[in-house]
Amino acid sequence: MKGGVLFFIGFLLLLSGCNKSNLKYEKPYFDFDSLINAQSKALIKAQATLSKSVSLNGKRDLSTVKADSVLLTHELEVFRQLDVINKPLYRNAYQIADRDRDPKSNLLMRTYRALHPSPVPAVTFYYLQDLGHLKKIESVYREVNTLYNTERSLYLEFDDISGTPLLTHYKVTGKQKMILSDSVLFAIEGSFLPAGR
């Protein structure tokens, strides 16, 4: 089971890596690359441990490992896909909606909603005061091509550590349908615990 799960997760990352462009471009909405880079450095500095659960078509695998740069690159790469909202193709394609309060908490919300078809139909940020006090990000990433189609719900949660948001929890759930095969349901969930906490 473990080998199958690792192969599947590796395949997902390979597919997502194929879409990454080396071109530099402005980031008018939110810089996901910088967020992931900063969180990776902060988690390494905090000597965080990752507790992870992977479910593939209902079969579950659990693991706990110390976070390092290789692991964090592997685990968080999928969230870089959200940066597609900044690509020149989608410039002016998103409407920004601010709401005073999240009805389920005391957090403020900002949602970027696509006005035209996009791999990321919407992304919502939950925060205190401003985006520098980020608490959660929720989004969906959809991809359709001749080989497969996939939909992933993406979730990141942050805690305030010494006045700075630190990633403490993430989740990726969804399904993938390969050509000439059944749909695969998957769920990946991880929690980071800094040393000494």
Cα 181 from Cα 176, distance rounded (Å): 10
User: How long, in residues, is the chain?
Assistant: 197
Confidence of residue 145 (pLDDT cuts 50, 70, 90): confident
Chain-centroid distance, C-alpha 35 = 11
Tokens of 34: 């910088």
Q: Give the domain ranges of the chain.
A: 2-18+34-193
185 pLDDT higher than 50: yes
What is the rounded average pLDDT of the residues 118-145?
93
Q: Is 157 helix (H, G, I), strand (E, B) or coil?
A: strand
Cα 25 from Cα 38, distance rounded (Å): 19
What is the rounded average pLDDT of the residues 132-143?
95
Cα torsion 97, 23, 75, 134: sign: negative
182-194 burial, b at 16+ Cβ within 10 Å, e below that, comes to eebebebebbbeb
pTM of the model: 0.84
Is residue 130 within 8 A of residue 116, CB to CB? The reply is no
Cα 120 from Cα 82, distance rounded (Å): 7
The predicted pLDDT at position 19 comes to 45
Cα 48 from Cα 66, distance rounded (Å): 6
Calculate helix-pair angle for 69-80, 32-45, nearest 10 degrees: 160
Q: What is the mean pLDDT of the chain?
A: 87
